[in-house]
Amino acid sequence: MDSEPIVGIDLGTTNSEVAILSGGKPEVVREDGDAMVPSCVGLDEAGHIIVGRRARNQAAVAPERTVVSIKRLMGSGERVPMGAETYSPQEISAFILKELKERAARALGRDVRKAVITVPAYFTDAQRQATREAGGIAGLEVVRIINEPTAAALSYEGQGSGGNRRILVYDLGGGTFDVSVVAIEEGVVEVLASTGDNRLGGDDFDALVAKRLTAQVETGLGIEGAAADRLLQARLRRAAEQAKMDLSTQPFVRVEEDHVGSVGGEAKHLSCELNRGDFEQDIDEMLARTMRSVTTALNDADVRPSQLDRILLVGGSTRIPRITQLLAERLGQEPHGEVDPDLCVALGAAVQAGIEMGHDMHSVLVDITPYTFGTSAVGELYGMPYEYQFIPIIRRNTKLPATRTEAFATVTEFQEEVEIKVYQGEDPDALKNVEIGSFRFTGLNQQREAYEQGLLFSYHLDLDGLLKVHAVERATGRELRGVVENAMERASEEALAASRERIETLWGEEDAIPAGSTGEELEEAAGDPGMSDEFQDTLRRARAALDSAPAEDREEMIELIRDLRYALREECAEAAAAVKQQLDEILFYLE
């Protein structure tokens, strides 16, 4: 079948991946052996857009022109600075999507214009809408948004596991946490329940470790103001993340950071040991929160732990051994490792893309809404009269798409318009839930009969989890004109077109550094005149160590060599010193 390709995209907080169908099977696109594109966007020193590893590499040396973890701000309406300008989260995400789109196009040998994109199950309406808009800005039609745990289950099903199963998907990434209970019966993947926290993830763990390191710098080394030093904080965050990851396989790690400040003109270096026990204690309360969500999801799905056939782990943070331990204690079985926690979401998105393209993927997806949608009305709260009682309309764990209709009476006879506020959440106090928009309907019929019969409101939640509200006058059957007053961040078509153009222009600018780098080029760099001996020495040693370096270091070293060469050419001493230090650290282990 030569239908237009649709790709599957996992747009993650920390890393993103794109998967395509190859011979009817989902496959993550790799370049130079690497499937993961760090979800980082930056401007290089010449003001050109860089995405992925290069942007991540410069995050520590140039935080003011690098954006990380943008997913956390999706749907917030906040803008982020990058260089001299500010960008919406949709625009920053669009750069990442554009990079993935081009990767997929290179792999397929043809243009890619359509995608299935995953979002955390717990993403709100505004966050889903923002994700859709980011796709549009990147020149991608988002044919479907699916929930990450659902995608994980689809990738599992795609492996041809067969049979009827109950699966618990525990998904802890860089910025969000979800847990879902999924039933697979005769190829139908049905999410029974889903819950979580869209502000909890590995970034929070990094922040706790960075806090320990900052305390060491301030009290241990006597350097004041370390907590407010942005550049130092960016370095400590990176060191903290590395230490956290190492603690997943080692009981303790040593953190070494040179030149973290000076006292009385003397340069100070950080060198301290962190152990797994302390780290586990730091994150204990957060992990306990995730375990409470596991219980909630099982209760909502009406599934007992003993009825679970599998526990699937998704997201990089699930490599923390304490998580496996807690799940095994709570559920009486060990999670399974056969599905790659980093890649299964993108693979599942590609399975869904295959279904959208009309391929027989041996599975059908039935998704649910992980939260309740409703409105507010004058009523009562905890037995007291209250103006904003939450009235649930579409309850959480309802299958998608879902439509519910409710009768509504206007307050007065000659009322000309009515306003409906829509919230999502579970609190009986509407004001404690997330307001996703307010819909105003005008032109109400002024006849007594119309007043007496009232209005019917239909709430329609589509397959992507996005909500639409319609109102019909019962007496006349007439549909009222509805305006979305403040649906968060629903950008206008013009605003989206302007963003598209802006991103296109920045993207189109010629890259200051050639994308591919050869050995000769690097050799040549090492011989650049005008470089101080120290830098030349590092470059020469890096070149010599390249061939025997493990693949994962090699990639990074090539980037660093390029960055160092560039920093020297631009005479940016601070950046050059920081990049040199990173290279020296790698060489320390290799030589």
Catalytic residue numbers read 10, 71, 148, 171
Q: What's 368's DSSP letter?
A: B
Residue closer to ligand AMP (CB basis): 118 or 538: 118
Closest CA to 363 of 564, 185, 492: 185
- Between β-strands 6-11 and 114-119, what pairing exists: parallel, antiparallel or unpaired? parallel
Least CB distance to ligand AMP at residue 569 (A) = 32
Residue closer to ligand AMP (CB basis): 504 or 553: 553
Q: What are the structure tokens assigned to 277, written together?
A: 């026990």
Cα angle for residues 249, 252, 256 (degrees, 5° grid)? 110
Least CB distance to ligand AMP at residue 173 (A) = 3
Q: Which residues bind ligand AMP (CB under 6 A)?
A: 12-15, 173-174, 202-203, 241, 244-245, 248, 315-317, 319-320
Least CB distance to ligand AMP at residue 349 (A) = 14
Q: Which run of H or of E encompasses 141? A: strand 141-147
- What CA–CA distances, in Å, run from 106 to 70, 189, 308? 26, 31, 41
Residue closer to ligand AMP (CB basis): 5 or 316: 316
Residue closer to ligand AMP (CB basis): 208 or 577: 208
Least CB distance to ligand AMP at residue 87 (A) = 21
Task: Find all residues with CB under 8 Å of 510, minimum gap 6, and list them.
Answer: 48
- What CA–CA distances, in Å, run from 521 to 332, 349, 513, 514, 553? 56, 39, 11, 10, 19
Residue closer to ligand AMP (CB basis): 13 or 57: 13
For the chain, the C-alpha Rg in angstroms (whole number) is 26
Cα angle for residues 125, 127, 131 (degrees, 5° grid)? 115
Task: Find all residues with CB under 8 Å of 571, minimum gap 6, and list them.
Answer: none
Residue closer to ligand AMP (CB basis): 203 or 464: 203
Closest CA to 445 of 470, 469, 473: 473
Quick one: angle between helices 89-108 and 493-508, nearest 10? 60
Least CB distance to ligand AMP at residue 10 (A) = 8
Least CB distance to ligand AMP at residue 462 (A) = 26
What b-and-e string marks burial along 26-53, b requiring 16 or more CB atoms within 10 Å of the CB? bbbbeeeebbbbbbbbbbbbeeebbbbb
Within 13 Å of residue 119, how many CA atoms lie on the same side as its CB?
31
For ligand AMP, which residue has the nearest CB?
202
Tell the burial category of 1 from Cβ atoms under 10 Å away from its Cβ (0-12, 13-18, 19+): exposed
Least CB distance to ligand AMP at residue 172 (A) = 8
Quick one: angle between helices 276-301 and 321-331, nearest 10? 40
Residue closer to ligand AMP (CB basis): 74 or 355: 74
Residue closer to ligand AMP (CB basis): 75 or 437: 75
Helix, strand, coil tally for the chain in percent (to 5): 40, 30, 30
Q: What are the structure tokens assigned to 528, written together?
A: 């650049």
Least CB distance to ligand AMP at residue 61 (A) = 19
- What CA–CA distances, in Å, run from 78 to 71, 94, 174, 347? 12, 16, 20, 31
Least CB distance to ligand AMP at residue 171 (A) = 8
CA distance 425 to 419: 20
Residue closer to ligand AMP (CB basis): 14 or 93: 14
